């Protein structure tokens, strides 16, 4: 009868413990600003940022900007995931594709992808298409690498066991290789998702227009530092929600996997 209140208190303490560092950072931010240790223009108080946020959300404009950034981020993420997994799997299955693709991926990995933005603006204009293409290109290499490595480095004993049980070669790939590579693929996607959000914001800053990146750049031009910090705060919040959502999906998809059995 008393288990539920105890469980609720335990969960509450767990959440508080997990967020203690963030709460302390926000308290420090507010305290420094209230003590006037920093010019309010350079660092507005958190309460002022949140007050500005309430007004901006009420007007509806910030909601539209946030929705547009989310659309570009998720569209690029879906494209990068689909293209990256397809290419990574194909490279694992085909020796000629692997011969061609591995040097290309290795060459492309260290390139700062955002440097390609002027080219994409010339090709696709300054609207959604160039931003989504740029974000997709920035994230797809990570997904290709993770998928390729995951599908190439499968425990040989798994394959031998399945073959000894009479598993057909084609079924072997879908029943053994893909499930075994799923943790690596999901890791690539978990890296790609925040990358998509970051690059989407940067492309909006570069090209202007609507979106959280454009919102922050426009605010900085008019010296509205509270709006700039509001954009940063919202970006961090969106990134946290997206990464936590993908982490939850990972836990569900890998409920059968040993990595879930050892998680505390």
Q: What is the pLDDT of residue 221?
A: 86
Q: What is the pLDDT of residue 181?
A: 81
Taking the C-alpha atoms of residue 106 and residue 54, their distance in angstroms, rounded to an integer, is 46
Q: What is the pLDDT of residue 129?
A: 92
Alpha helices in the chain (DSSP H): 3-18, 20-34, 46-59, 61-93, 95-108, 117-124, 128-152, 156-164, 169-172, 178-207, 212-221, 225-253, 258-261
Mean pLDDT of 183-193: 92
CA 39 to chain CA centroid, nearest Å: 33
142-166 burial code (b ≥16 CB/10 A, e <16): bbbbbbbbbbeebeeeeeeebeeee
Q: What is the pLDDT of residue 1?
A: 46
Highest mean pLDDT among 11-15, 90-94, 154-158, 211-215 belongs to 211-215
Taking the C-alpha atoms of residue 131 and residue 128, their distance in angstroms, rounded to an integer, is 5
The per-residue pLDDT for range 73-123, each reduced to its tens digit, is 999 999 999 999 999 988 887 888 888 988 888 888 888 888 889 899 999
- Torsion from C-alpha of 227, 233, 235, 237, nearest 10 degrees: -150
- Torsion from C-alpha of 256, 19, 200, 79, nearest 10 degrees: 10
Q: What is the pLDDT of residue 261?
A: 53
pLDDT band for 264, please (50, 70, 90 cuts). Answer: very low
Lowest-confidence pick of 37-41, 172-176, 179-183, 257-261: 257-261
Q: Is 231 helix (H, G, I), strand (E, B) or coil?
A: helix
pLDDT band for 13, please (50, 70, 90 cuts). Answer: low
Is pLDDT above 70 for 208? Answer: yes
The per-residue pLDDT for range 131-182, each reduced to its tens digit, is 999 999 999 999 999 998 888 877 665 655 665 656 666 666 666 777 778 8
Lowest-confidence pick of 11-25, 151-165, 194-208, 245-259: 151-165
42-261 belongs to which homologous superfamily? MetI-like (1.10.3720.10)
Q: What is the pLDDT of residue 83?
A: 95
Domain coordinates of the chain in residue numbers?
A: 1-38, 42-261
Report the chain's mean pLDDT, rounded to a whole number: 83
């Amino acid at each position: 009868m008393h288990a539920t209140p105890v469980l609720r208190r335990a969960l509450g303490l767990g959440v508080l413990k997990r967020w203690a560092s963030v709460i302390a950072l926000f308290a420090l931010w507010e305290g420094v600003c209230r003590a006037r240790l920093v010019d309010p223009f350079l660092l507005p108080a958190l309460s002022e940022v949140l007050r500005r946020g309430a007004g901006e959300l009420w007007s509806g404009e910030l909601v539209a900007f946030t929705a547009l950034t989310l659309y570009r981020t998720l569209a690029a993420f879906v494209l990068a995931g689909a293209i990256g997994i397809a290419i990574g799997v194909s490279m694992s299955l085909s020796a000629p594709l692997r011969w061609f693709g591995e040097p290309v991926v290795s060459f492309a990995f260290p390139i700062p992808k955002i440097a390609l933005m002027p080219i994409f603006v010339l090709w696709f204009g300054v609207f959604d298409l160039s931003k989504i293409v740029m974000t997709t290109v920035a994230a797809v290499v990570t997904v290709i690498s993770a998928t390729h490595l995951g599908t190439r480095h499968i425990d040989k004993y798994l394959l031998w066991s399945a073959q000894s049980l009479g598993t057909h070669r084609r079924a072997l790939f879908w029943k053994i290789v893909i499930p075994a590579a799923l943790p690596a693929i999901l890791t690539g996607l978990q890296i790609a998702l925040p990358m998509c959000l970051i690059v989407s914001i940067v492309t909006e800053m570069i090209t202007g227009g609507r979106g959280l990146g454009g919102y922050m750049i426009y605010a900085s031009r008019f010296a509205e530092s509270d709006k700039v910090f509001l954009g940063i705060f919202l970006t961090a919040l969106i990134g946290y929600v997206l990464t936590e959502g993908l982490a939850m999906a990972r836990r569900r998809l890998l409920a059968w996997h040993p990595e879930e059995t050892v998680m505390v």
